[in-house]
Chain A
Amino acid sequence: MSDTPSASPQTFRLRGVSCAGCVRKIEAALSDVAGVEEARVNLGDKTLVVDGEVAAEDCVEAVESAGYGAELVQANARELRDQQREEEQDHYRQLLWRAGIALGLGVPLMAWGLITGEMGVNSPFQQMAWGAVGLLTLAVLVLCGGHFYTGAWRALRHHSATMDTLVALGTGAAWLFSMLVVVLPQVLPESARHVYFEASAMIIGLINLGQAMEVRARGKTSAAVEKLLELQDPTARVLRDGEEVDIPIEQVQTGDRLRVRPGEKIPVDGRVIEGESLVDESMLTGEPVPVKKAEGDGLSAGTLNKNGSLLFEAEKVGADTRLSQIIEMVKNAQSSRVPIARLADTISAIFVPTVMIIAVVAALVWYNWGPDPQIAHMLVVLTSVLIIACPCALGLATPMSVMVGVGKGAENGVLVRNGKALQQATDLDTLVVDKTGTLTEGAPKLTDIDSTGDTDELLQQLASLESQSEHPLAEAIVAAAKQKNLSLSAVNGFQAITAHGVSGEIDGKKILLGNRKLMQRESIDTGDWPAKAEALAEQGRTAMYAAVDGALAGIIAVADPIREDAKVAVNRLQQLGLRIEMLTGDNRATADAVAKQLGIEHVHADLLPEDKERIVADLQKGGAKVGMAGDGINDAPALARADVGFAIGAGTDVAIESADVTLMRSSLHGVADAVELSRATLRNIKQNLFGAFVYNTLGIPIAAGVLYPITGMLLSPVIAGAAMAFSSVTVVSNANRLRFFKPSHDSGNGNGGEQ
C-alpha cells in the first residue's frame, strides 16, 4: 500500500459494513480527510471508492476510526501490465524522437564532412559557423541526451559509474574539444583544428535508437507471463441478493457465489455448488481432455468452462489463486540469477572505471608516441574507447535468456524455480524416477478376468465381496464392476484373512478371493490355473484366485497400469543421455516387470519411503548428478536431496513450493522437456556471454587504435557508437530466439499456449 497521495480513484474493500447507517458514517469520516474530493460506499459490493489526492493509509485510518475495516484493493496484475505496456510505448516513442532529432543533426554534419572534407577551423568565418553548429549540438545533446548526463552525475556522486558515465564522458569530451577548437584555435597545432560535433550528435542519436530497439525486443521476452495474465478475466459474475452482477475481479471475496456460463473462464479458485460441466484445464495441467466437474469439485481460475453453467463458491481469490501463484513463481524465476553469470557479474562491477582508465592510458599513448596530429588522435581514441565499451551487453547476456527460457518453460507446462535449477538441469546424468504415479497411473485397475463360467457373474460376485474390503486392490475390482453397470449384492459373513484374501457369502454361495495359499488352506484344487497366474505376474500384474462353493471359478488380475506415454518418455530421456533408475515400494517381481516393459535397467524395489532419499544420496556420492522425478507426496525428502527435483503433476501446493521444477502435466515427458529447455537456455546464455566478452575484448583494443599500423586509420567514434548501440540489441535478439524453442516430442498442450 502506498503512503503517497494518488490522484486516480482508489478502491477499498470494507469490513463490518452492513447498513445504510454505516455508509453515512464512513462517508462522513472520509469527508474530513484532507484531499478527499468524493467518497462513495457501495453497500452491495462492500467497497469504497475515493477520489482526490489522498494517501491510501489516511483513508484506511479514517474508516477504522469510524469503527470499520478497510483494505486497499490493488489493481490486478493484468491492469498493471497494461499500464506498464503503455509506459513502455511512451518511452519507446520518446527514444525514437530523441534518436530522430540527434541523427537529424548528426547525419547532415557527417555528410558535409565526408563530401567537402571541411571540418577544420582556419578562418574567422569558419570559427563563427562552427560556433553556431556547436551551440546547436549542445542543444541537441541536452534535449536528446540530457538523461545520460544527469544519470552520470548522480552515479558519480554515489561513487558509481554506469553506462551513462561512458556515454556522457565520450560525447562530452568530443564536444568540449570541438568547442576548444572553435574558441581558441591558436592553442592547437593547425592539423588538429578539427571539430567533432557530428560525432557527439551521432553517438547520442545511435544510442537512443539502440535503446528504442532494445525496449521493443525486451517487450517480447515477457510474452509468456503475458499469456498467463491473459488467462485471468478482468470481471466475475457474482450472485448478490439473488441477482447476478458483473464486478471487477479484485472485488470478489472468498465465500462469494459466482456463476460461469459455457465458454467463459473460471475467474477465481472455488468449489462447485450447483451444475455440471466439462472444464478445459489444459492451460494449467496440460491435460488436453476436458475434466467433468460436478457439485463438490474444485475449480481453478483461468480454466475454461466448456458446455454447462456452473454455480460455485469462491475459495481463493486475488494473489492466492493457483494461477496467480504460478504467475508469481514464473516472474520470480525469470529474474533470478544463474551461477554461470557470476564471472560476468564480477566483471560488470568493475567494468566502467576500468574502461575509463584504459581510455586515458590509450589516449596518452597516442599523445606521446602517436603520429601527427597527436591531439586529434588522442581525442578520437579517448572517445571511441569510452563509447565502444558496452557494459549492457555483458549485463544483459544472462537475464534476457533466463527471462525467455523460464517463460518458454511455463508455456510448455514446466515451472522452473530459479536460474540455479535451470543450470543444474543441464548437466544431469542420472534420473531417479518413482514408479507409482510417475511411470504408472498410480491407481490400480482390473486388467484381466478369466473364468470357467460367466465372467460378468463372477465379477459381480467378487465386486460385491470386495466392496466390504478396504484393500487398495479391492477398489479396482469394485470400480470395474460399476463400469460394467453390475449391481452389487449384499454380503453375509465377510471375513478378511490376513495375508491370504477375503471370504463371504453372496446369494447363498460361499465366495473366496485371494492368493494360492488361501486356495491351499481351503483345500481347493487349482488345476492348471497357477500357470496362467504366473504369466500374469510376469507382466507385473497381481493375480488372485476366485472360488465359488469350494470350486475354483477363475482368476482375476489387478495392476497399476503403465502410463500411456511412459515408454516413449523413458526412451527420450535415455537419448538425452540420462541413466534412468526406478524406485518403488512394490515387490521385486512387479518392479522388474514394469522396468522390463519400459526398458529401464536399474531398479530399486521393496523400498520404504525413507530409502528413496538414501539412494539419491548414494548416487550423488558416486559422483552422479541426480535428478529425481516424483509426485511430491511421499518423496519430498528425495526431491529435495536431488540436484534437481522434478515434481510431477503439480497435484499439491507443497510440490510447487518445494520442487526445483514443477511439471504441470502428469507425464515424464515434462522432465525431458525441462532438460531440453534448460540445455537450450544455457546454450543461449553461453552464446550471449561469449558474444559480449568477444565484443568488448575486440572492440576496446580496436577503438584504442591497435589496427592503425595496418589500416592507417583510427576507428571513428561514430562507428563505435553504432557498434555499442547494436551490441545490446543483438544480445536481446539472440535471447528472443529461444522463443522458438520446441520440445523434441510434442506430447500435449502447453500452458496458456492455446489462447
Chain B
Amino acid sequence: MESLLINLSGLAAIALTLWWFWLAPKRNTLQAVGADEKLEILVKDGVYEPDRICVPAGTETVLHFRREDASPCAEWVLFPDLEVSAQLAVDQVTDVTLPAADAGEYPFHCQMQMYRGALVVE
C-alpha cells in the first residue's frame, strides 16, 4: 500500500513536471505597448513581469526595466536577436531602447537564461 502510494506520487510528480513546464499552455502576462506608452517591466525573484511584451513593428521602442533583485543574475537583460543588451541598476528604472524590428517573436533573458521573456513584434 505504502509502496504503491509512493510510486504513484513519484509518477504523478514526473507527469506534473512534464505538463506544467513544457506542455501546459502558458498564461503569460502579455502586455502591449502603444506608440507613446510607458511600460515598466519588473525584474524580481527570477521572473520578468510582464514576461511577454507586444510592440508594434517598424518602430523604435523603449522598455523600462525596474530591477528589484540584487543578485547578479538579474544584472543584465539581453535581446540576442536584436543585438541589444543593458545593464540594469538595482532599485532603479533602466531604459532599454530597441531598434525597429520586423514582425516576429524575439526572446529576451538574463545572462544565465533563468529570467526569460519574449518580445512580440506585430
Binding site for B on A (CB under 8 A): 1-4, 80, 83-84, 87-88, 90-91, 94, 147, 150-164, 211, 214-215, 218, 331-332, 334-337, 345, 348-350, 352-353, 356-357, 360-361, 363-364, 367-368, 378, 391-392, 395-396, 399, 418
Contact = CB atoms under 8 A, between A and B. Distances in A.
21 contacts: A3-B38, A4-B66, A83-B89, A88-B72, A91-B90, A151-B46, A151-B47, A160-B21, A160-B116, A336-B80, A336-B83, A345-B113, A348-B113, A360-B10, A361-B10, A364-B10, A364-B11, A392-B73, A392-B112, A399-B76, A399-B112
The B interface, classified by DSSP as helix, strand, loop or mixed, is mixed
Given A83-B89, A337-B78, A361-B14, A418 B46 contact: no
B90 A84 contact: yes
Given A336-B78, A357-B17, A395 B45 contact: no
B45 A154 contact: yes
Contacts of B51: 158
A352 to B, nearest CB: 8
Contact of B6 (A94, A162, A367): A367
Contacts of B72: 88, 211, 214-215, 218
Contacts of A348: 112-113
B88 to A, nearest CB: 9
A368 to B, nearest CB: 7
Contacts of B59: none
Contacts of B45: 147, 150-151, 153-155, 164
Contact of A360 (B13, B64, B87, B93): B13
Contacts of B26: 158-159
A155 B47 contact: yes
Contacts of B70: 87-88, 90-91, 94
Interface string B78-112: 10100111110111110100000000000000011
Given A90-B70, A155-B46, A159-B21, 8 more contacts: A84-B90, A151-B45, A159-B26, A159-B27, A160-B46, A336-B80, A364-B7, A418-B83
Contacts of B28: 158
B30 interface: no
Given A335-B78, A353-B17, A396 B113 contact: no
CB-CB nearest 4 A-B residue pairs? A395-B112, A335-B85, A399-B111, A353-B21
A350 B45 CA distance: 19
Contacts of A90: 70
A378 B5 CA distance: 14
Contacts of B40: 4
Interface centre among A164, A335, A363, A364 (most CB of B within 10 A): A335
A364 B10 CA distance: 7
B18 interface: yes
A100 B86 CA distance: 33
B112 A367 contact: no
Contacts of A87: 70, 89-91
A725 to B, nearest CB: 14
Contact of B46 (A1, A154, A215): A154
Contacts of B38: 3
Nearest to A375: B6
Contacts of B6: 364, 367, 378
A345 B111 CA distance: 10
A235 to B, nearest CB: 22
Contacts of A159: 20-21, 24, 26-27
B35 interface: no
Interface of B: 3, 6-7, 10-11, 13-14, 17-18, 20-22, 24, 26-29, 38, 40, 44-47, 51, 64, 66, 70-73, 76, 78, 80, 83-87, 89-93, 95, 111-116
Contacts of B27: 159
A152 B47 CA distance: 10
Contacts of A218: 72
A157 B47 CA distance: 10
B21 A161 contact: yes
A2 B64 contact: yes
Given A331-B87, A367-B6, A154 B78 contact: no
Interface centre among B13, B14, B111, B112 (most CB of A within 10 A): B112
Nearest to A225: B87
B93 A2 contact: yes
A211 B38 CA distance: 34
B46 A164 contact: yes
Contacts of A152: 46
A353 B113 contact: no
A154 B111 contact: no
B113 to A, nearest CB: 5
A392 B28 CA distance: 24
A154 B47 contact: yes
Given A87-B70, A367-B7, A395 B114 contact: yes
A120 B74 CA distance: 41
B47 A332 contact: no
Nearest to B72: A218
Contact of A91 (B3, B71, B80): B71
A332 B83 contact: yes
Interface centre among A83, A90, A162 (most CB of B within 10 A): A162
A714 to B, nearest CB: 18
B38 to A, nearest CB: 6
B22 A353 contact: yes
Contact of A163 (B10, B11, B80, B114): B114
B35 to A, nearest CB: 16
B47 A158 contact: yes
Contacts of B85: 331-332, 334-336
A395 B14 contact: no
A150 to B, nearest CB: 5
Given A215-B72, A218-B72, A361-B14, A337 B80 contact: yes
Given A91-B70, A218-B72, A335-B76, A162 B93 contact: no
Given A215-B72, A332-B83, A418-B83, A162 B21 contact: no
A728 to B, nearest CB: 9
Nearest to A95: B71
A399 B3 CA distance: 46
Nearest to B26: A159
A263 to B, nearest CB: 32
B72 to A, nearest CB: 5
A391 B21 contact: no
A391 B114 contact: yes
Nearest to A217: B72
Interface centre among B13, B44, B93, B111 (most CB of A within 10 A): B111
Contacts of B92: 2
Nearest to A94: B70
Contacts of B29: 158
Nearest to B84: A332
Interface centre among B17, B18, B26 (most CB of A within 10 A): B17
B44 A396 contact: no
A356 B10 CA distance: 11
Contacts of A83: 89
Interface centre among B27, B76, B113 (most CB of A within 10 A): B113
A357 B19 CA distance: 12
Given A218-B72, A353-B21, A335 B112 contact: no
Contacts of A161: 21
Contacts of A350: 22
Contacts of B112: 348, 391-392, 395-396, 399
B1 to A, nearest CB: 12
A736 to B, nearest CB: 14
A83 B88 CA distance: 12
A512 to B, nearest CB: 59
A597 to B, nearest CB: 41
Given A80-B89, A155-B46, A356 B113 contact: no
A336 B78 CA distance: 7
